[in-house]
Amino acid sequence: MRKFICVLAALCCFISVLPARAENAESACVIAARTGELVYEKNSVARLPMASTTKIMTCITALESCPVTDIVTVSENAASTEGSSAYLEAGFQLSMYDMLFGLMLNSGNDAAVAVAEHISGSVDAFVDLMNAKAKEIGAENTHFTNPNGLPDPNHYTTAYDLAMITRYAMNNPVFREIVAQQAFAGLVINTGGYLEFYNHNRLLGEYDGCVGVKTGYTEAAGRCLVTAAERNGMRFIAVTLNDGSDWDDHRELLDAAFADYSLKRVVSAGGAAPYSDYDAVYGEDFNVPVKNGAEPKISVRMHIPARLDFPVAKGEKIGYAQFIMNGKDIGTVDVCSARDVYEEMSFGEKLKKRMRNLWNLMML
């Protein structure tokens, strides 16, 4: 017992000297964007209001629901929305693309309503799409009642859910383009004038590698911030909710993540893909961030049709490889033919090939 107490005391001393992170945040977390791995958390599953970081979901829902070339006409209802504004007036017409800059840079509550009404006919119907998307992503502790983040007791998320929603959104190239811009001029098509939109995210241009994504504030929610940063081939996403020191905390959280992780090469472009009946290679490199000193279990599942459409040219995609780390799907890579194949193998040839691949796998 005495030995146990000494060990426990030593452990407590060790914990006490660890740097405290996001001390002023009610909730915080950091995830690795490639794998979804939880890098750091503080009260990360508490349901809290998230203010305008709501618009991350509004934006990705819009991008998946209509073309960015759609023309959005601003209603009187949208133009009169309270709170932060893109300075829209009733009757203004903007492309959906330009409107989303007003949504994400100016954090326009008016833009959020205009987008919702254009896509679904009403805010309530659009919110149904947002909640369905949250469930699809796996954000089980998230519920939306509006597209802008105005206070409502039934409008909430968690730091972890918001990080996973952002991870999903950052896979969309147009979303990434929008949230990385510091300023944008939106064309009002029917007047020929422009609306100037400016990003509220101070870390863009100030923090090395910052590529987005969204600020938020209401009196009920406090200061909310979601950031993404990329260095050395790694991207991390940090979230804080109700944090009066969010700018400094995000710098610290992201710095720690980049210091604690390194990039691991899983497969290389041109490397042999061993599970196919045919000679196949990976179409590109696949890398994952791994905590320094850790040895995660990474496996691959090959997805190649039982019958190919012959002939198959060298370099032609024939399927894809799915990578699994610690039981979670972390991404895919195209699998291509390593040579020209003019006809299907015989059963005997396939059997020999499979036995050879099985032997090679056993030797790994």
Mean pLDDT of 147-163: 98
Q: How far is CA 300 from CA 17, 56, 270, 318, in A?
A: 40, 31, 16, 16
**3-class SS at 131?**
helix
Which residue blocks in the chain are alpha helix, DSSP H? Answer: 2-16, 55-65, 76-79, 96-104, 109-120, 123-137, 159-169, 173-179, 246-260, 347-362
Interval 180-198 mean pLDDT? 98
Hey, is 54 helix, strand or coil? Answer: helix
Give the mean pLDDT of 38-51: 97
pTM: 0.87
- Is the Cβ–Cβ distance between 321 and 282 less than 8 Å? yes
Average pLDDT (324-334) is 91
What's the CA dihedral at 317, 318, 322, 323 to 10 degrees?
-60
CB of 344 within 8 A of CB of 310? yes
What is the rounded distance in angstroms from the CA atom of residue 134 to the CA atom of residue 143? 8
> pLDDT-derived band of residue 279, with 50, 70 and 90 as boundaries?
confident
Start-to-end CA span in the chain (Å): 45
pLDDT at 6 over 60: no
Cβ partners under 8 Å of residue 16, min gap 6: none
Residues near 153 by Cβ (< 8 Å), separated by ≥ 6? none
How far apart, in whole angstroms, are the C-alpha atoms of residue 103 and residue 61?
A: 13
179 pLDDT above the threshold of 60: yes
Under DSSP, is residue 240 helix (H, G, I), strand (E, B) or coil?
strand
Per-residue pLDDT, 309: 81
Indicate if the pLDDT at residue 262 is higher than 60. Answer: yes
pLDDT tops 50 at residue 11? no
Angle in degrees, 0-180, between the axes of helices 123-137 and 109-120, rounded to the nearest 10: 90
Mean pLDDT of 276-287: 87
For residues 133 and 112, the answer to whether their CB atoms sit within 8 Å is: no
Give the residue carrying structure tokens 């291509």.
336
- Name the packing angle between helices 159-169 and 55-65 (round to 10°): 30
Does residue 348 have a pLDDT over 60?
A: no
Structure tokens at 129: 């799409």
CA–CA distances in Å: residue 172 to residues 69, 178, 319: 16, 10, 22
Examine the pLDDT at 15 and tell me if it is beyond 50: no
Coil/strand/helix, residue 267: strand
pLDDT band at 214 (very low <50, low <70, confident <90, very high): very high
Domains of the chain: 31-261 (3.40.710.10), 268-362 (2.60.410)
**Does the structure show a pLDDT above 60 at 345?**
no
Percent of the chain with pLDDT over 90: 79
Annotated catalytic residues are 52, 55, 107
Q: What is the pLDDT of residue 16?
A: 32
What residues form DSSP beta bridges with 231? Answer: 234
Of 250 and 273, the structure prediction assigns the larger pLDDT to 250
Residue 275 or residue 219, greater confidence: 219
Lowest mean pLDDT among 185-194, 254-263, 336-345: 336-345
DSSP 8-state symbol, 51: G
Q: Which residue has the tokens 């254009």?
A: 118
Comparing C-alpha atoms, which of 186, 1, 12, 9 is closest to residue 99?
186
The strand pair at 25-32 and 234-243 is best described as antiparallel
What residues have CB less than 8 Å from 252, skipping those under 6 apart? 19, 21, 22
Residue 13 binned pLDDT confidence (cut-offs 50, 70, 90)? very low
> What's the rounded Cα separation, in Å, for the pair 209 and 169?
18
Report the relative pairing of strands 317-325 and 298-303 from DSSP bridges: antiparallel
User: 240 pLDDT exceeds 80?
Assistant: yes
